[in-house]
Structure 1
Amino acid sequence: MRWLLFIAFYLLIDIYAYQALRSLNRSWWVGGIYFVISLVVIGNFIYQWQSSGGGFFSAIGFAFGIVLAFLLAKLVIVLFMFGEDIVRFFIGIFHAVSDSGYKAPGRRKFVSQIALGLATIPFVSVLYGMFKGKYDFRVLNYTLYFEDLPSAFDGYRIGQISDVHSGSFDNHEKVAYGVDLLNKQGTDVVFFTGDLVNNKATEMEDWKSLFSTVKAKDGVYSILGNHDYGDYVNWNSAEEKENNLDRLKATHAEMGWDLLLNEHRYVEKNGEKIAIVGVENWGGGHFKKAGDLDLAGKNVAADDFKILLSHDPSHWQEKVKQNDKFYHLTLSGHTHGMQFGIEIPGFLKWSPAKYRYKNWAGIYKENNKYINVNRGFGYLAFPGRVGIWPEISVIELRKGSAPA
């Protein structure tokens, strides 16, 4: 039933958008090519989806991306054509009551030309995001000030990546570039904030040797994200699912990453220390709530400087900010910035993700507590990024007050 509704919606948009092309060229072969391409695009997506069992892997991802490119382009056309139809309707009503001989005008070609021209923007943007944007890694630098930061950690530099989603990768050279870019930042420590795979531990087999090259003087610390538990797979048994999670945990160790499972570590420097607290996934709504902040922070002193690793930023809003212990900085991921948006530093920051998450990308501050929501290293479902590029966060900690 859902496929019938989807196909009906797609065809409705398709037929309406075709009116713009038809106003410019009425040749039967042009219309034939238009609808053949549409059927191939939607047919390939349905086939790949059924073949994949509903999982998002390379083939289904590209099929979905192509559907999205055409659909967004046609929606732009529909908006223009529908707007023109509304104008034509009211003009027709006006003339119908004032002039019985009035004949409704045909579609104006220049409106169709504008609609088709503007439709190329989302179409090209989505294709760019699929073939270039998904590996267009960006290093985003932040400096955060804390009055109670231990003096030995003044100038301490943190590297953060999140949401690798290794099951989506299709280009080893590009991913290696991103890993090398992270290492080149020369940070004191590196934190990974969850979602190493899409679903299965085996997705890391071709990538763990590469990610084991991630190094930092004070180590690499990691946590689990919602996708790491294998909750989105129909396993043959509970034991098989548990074995998958055990295999993924072992992968972290094999790469030299210290996986924090509702526990904490200390990093010491010149006789002073900061606490690194890592929780399992705790997500708002229907997402897994395995994270236990009280357990993870047990025996951490109230006056210790604390950095919390928590995959889903909903945790910060719903639990962390109100916790009795003061968590100075929380590092999260999860949202991907929805892999689509517009960011002009200092002027504009928008993504559909903002309607789901209060904290969806970048640094936020409330009551002298900070959270950084990393936009993600990899991608999921849509095999691309448009305007929200894959991110490596570099955060420098400074002691004192922020400059005015």
Structure 2
Amino acid sequence: MVRWIILLLIFGLIELYAFQAFKTVNKDKGFIISYLVISVAIVGIIFYGFTQFDRSVGQNRMSLFTLGLMLVIYVPKMLIGLVLFGEDLFRVFCAISRYFVDYDSNTPALPERRKFISQIALGLAAIPFASLIYGIFEGKYNYKVITTKLYFPDLPTAFDGLKITQISDVHSGSFDNPEKIEYAIDLINQQETDLILFTGDIVNTHATEMHPWIDTFKKIKPHKFGKFAVLGNHDYGEYVSWPSQQEKDKNFSDIKKLYGDIDFKLLLNEHTSITKDGEALHIVGVENWGKNFKQAGDLGKAVSGLDRDAFKILMSHDPSHWEYEVKTHPSNVHLTLSGHTHGLQFGIEIPGFFKWSPVQYVYKQWAGLYEHENRKIYVNRGFGFHAYPGRVGIWPEISVFELKKGEKPA
């Protein structure tokens, strides 16, 4: 109860600051009344949306819309609040200074708000407002093919030049545009790689979410060395309430079957080998293992029977698995492919120069390539979207890797 009271106070303060900013910039009575009516209506829509959330259903169109609307409205208003709070600190400092240095009973104790500060606040708030709107209508389907060359001195010679496509975090229950998904599948096929790996989260929760998209994903062309997949945390149906354990188990069974329905071989704490010219490369797949999520992955079991020096590519949905186990595991996994973070679907990236997202304060490896003592992990930014129905700065990704034998050029 206390938590809810604190939350309401925070949102109330944000609304108060936003109202003051708009009122300072435009004192017209009609404008102020219109602002208040619209604000109350939006709060009502958001409140109604949250009250309609059903734990037995999980994320749906209503919850996506509600969270999207809340972010579009309150992220900009929070920025306004921060700017005006900073101004308030200055106003209080000025009031104290006046009292002790230049006291005048005819001068108001607290200086008035300055119009240009409110204008700055509103101008700054327009940036995330426009970005979040763009993210909802365009950004979530702004697919990027990111190509990376990976160098390994001990890569079997036969696989020098092997090309791999990775997709991750499809979250099919969030899709709302068949044409855009068809476009993304075409992009995957255009890469003409030798192997495709899918690192989990085919749905948000329910197997039925993928049913309208099975035929679309079956259009992913056969690859020379196969199509393999692992489970993600959402594939276990853990985030909703179920009428019975039997129904939960059936849903899980149906989700595992989905991967086969789209022609991917699901690896469950096991490995498979691909061979060329008498040499082998091993694809290892573990169930989900996350520091703060389900830990069903068993790396020891998955690599059982493989020599330490055998070249291994591990599919593990959650990159925290690499941080807490894989990178120091005695089995010597050369390359790990993960997803899960989505880059929070929000951030700033200037390829090769700068990369930031709030998710980096939770995950050390959250997007792109990381290395530790010649062991590498690549974290895919995700194919789909979840919770916030959009993407800003962190675009949906199709990863393409070319494996090269030798040291990386200086």
Where on the TM-score scale, by shorter chain, does this alignment land: which range?
over 0.9
1:91 is matched with: 94
Equivalent pair of 1:58/1:383 in contact (CA under 8 Å): no
Choose from 238, 241, 248 the match for 1:241: 248
Query: Does residue 289 in structure 1 map to residue 268 in structure 2?
Result: no
Moved more, 316-325 or 51-60: 51-60
1:223 is matched with: 230
**Which amino acid in structure 1 is aligned with residue 249 of structure 2?**
E
Q: How many residues align?
A: 403
1:353 is matched with: 359
Give the Cα–Cα distance (whole angstroms) in 1 for the partners of residues 390 and 54 of structure 2.
21
Moved more, 207-216 or 352-361: 207-216
Query: Does residue 267 in structure 1 map to residue 274 in structure 2?
Result: yes
SS in structure 2 at match of 1:295 = helix
Moved more, 89-98 or 189-198: 89-98
Choose from 261, 278, 284 the match for 1:254: 261
1:60 is matched with: 63
Equivalent pair of 1:309/1:330 in contact (CA under 8 Å): yes
Q: CA deviation at 1:9?
A: 2.4
Give the Cα–Cα distance (whole angstroms) in 2 for the partners of residues 202 and 398 of structure 1.
40
TM-score, normalisation: structure 2: 0.95
1:398 is matched with: 404
Moved more, 83-92 or 125-134: 83-92
2:26 is matched with: 25
Choose from 74, 77, 97 the match for 1:74: 77
Q: CA deviation at 1:97?
A: 1.9
Give the Cα–Cα distance (whole angstroms) in 2 for the partners of residues 351 and 128 of structure 1.
18
2:148 is matched with: 142
For residues 187-235 of structure 1, the C-alpha deviation after alignment (integer angstroms, 9 at most, x for no partner) is: 1110000111000111000011111111222221000000001011111
Moved more, 150-159 or 343-352: 343-352
Query: Does residue 325 in structure 1 map to residue 331 in structure 2?
Result: yes
1:202 is matched with: 208
Matches within 5 A, 1:109-148: 109-148=115-154
Matches within 5 A, 1:96-107: 96-101=99-104, 102-103=107-108, 104-107=110-113
Give the Cα–Cα distance (whole angstroms) in 1 for the partners of residues 18 and 409 of structure 2.
53
SS in structure 2 at match of 1:321 = helix
Give the Cα–Cα distance (whole angstroms) in 1 for the partners of residues 246 and 295 of structure 2.
20
Give the Cα–Cα distance (whole angstroms) in 1 for the partners of residues 111 and 298 of structure 2.
66
Structure 2 runs not aligned, ≥5 long: none
**Which amino acid in structure 2 is aligned with residue 63 of structure 1?**
T
SS in structure 1 at match of 2:203 = coil
Give the Cα–Cα distance (whole angstroms) in 1 for the partners of residues 40 and 201 of structure 2.
35
Q: CA deviation at 1:94?
A: 1.3
Give the Cα–Cα distance (whole angstroms) in 2 for the partners of residues 393 and 357 of structure 1.
20
1:45 is matched with: 46
Give the Cα–Cα distance (whole angstroms) in 1 for the partners of residues 9 and 364 of structure 2.
34
Moved more, 43-52 or 196-205: 43-52
SS in structure 1 at match of 2:328 = coil
**Which amino acid in structure 2 is aligned with residue 255 of structure 1?**
I
2:16 is matched with: 15
Give the Cα–Cα distance (whole angstroms) in 1 for the partners of residues 353 and 263 of structure 2.
40
**Which amino acid in structure 1 is aligned with residue 47 of structure 2?**
I
Q: CA deviation at 1:95?
A: 1.6
Q: CA deviation at 1:169?
A: 0.7
Choose from 332, 335, 343 the match for 2:341: 335
SS in structure 2 at match of 1:30 = helix
Q: CA deviation at 1:142?
A: 0.5
Equivalent pair of 2:94/2:111 in contact (CA under 8 Å): no
Matches within 5 A, 1:164-183: 164-183=170-189
**Which amino acid in structure 1 is aligned with residue 269 of structure 2?**
N
Distance 1:8 1:29, change over 3 A: farther
**Which amino acid in structure 1 is aligned with residue 174 of structure 2?**
S
Give the Cα–Cα distance (whole angstroms) in 2 for the partners of residues 272 and 379 of structure 1.
39
Equivalent pair of 2:144/2:396 in contact (CA under 8 Å): yes
Structure 1 runs not aligned, ≥5 long: none
Equivalent pair of 2:281/2:310 in contact (CA under 8 Å): yes
SS in structure 2 at match of 1:284 = coil
Q: CA deviation at 1:39?
A: 2.2
Give the Cα–Cα distance (whole angstroms) in 1 for the partners of residues 102 and 339 of structure 2.
63
SS in structure 1 at match of 2:381 = coil
**Which amino acid in structure 2 is aligned with residue 145 of structure 1?**
Y
Give the Cα–Cα distance (whole angstroms) in 2 for the partners of residues 40 and 175 of structure 1.
34
Q: CA deviation at 1:98?
A: 2.6
Give the Cα–Cα distance (whole angstroms) in 1 for the partners of residues 330 and 115 of structure 2.
65
For residues 57-96 of structure 1, the C-alpha deviation after alignment (integer angstroms, 9 at most, x for no partner) is: 2221122111111111111211221111211211121122
**Which amino acid in structure 1 is aligned with residue 181 of structure 2?**
V
Moved more, 98-107 or 79-88: 98-107
Give the Cα–Cα distance (whole angstroms) in 2 for the partners of residues 47 and 3 of structure 1.
16
Give the Cα–Cα distance (whole angstroms) in 2 for the partners of residues 191 and 351 of structure 1.
25
Q: CA deviation at 1:49?
A: 2.4
1:214 is matched with: 220
Q: CA deviation at 1:30?
A: 2.1
Q: CA deviation at 1:99?
A: 2.6
Q: Percent identity?
A: 53
Choose from 321, 327, 331 the match for 1:315: 321
Distance 1:8 1:91, change over 3 A: closer
SS in structure 1 at match of 2:336 = strand
**Which amino acid in structure 2 is aligned with residue 292 of structure 1?**
D
TM-score, normalisation: structure 1: 0.97
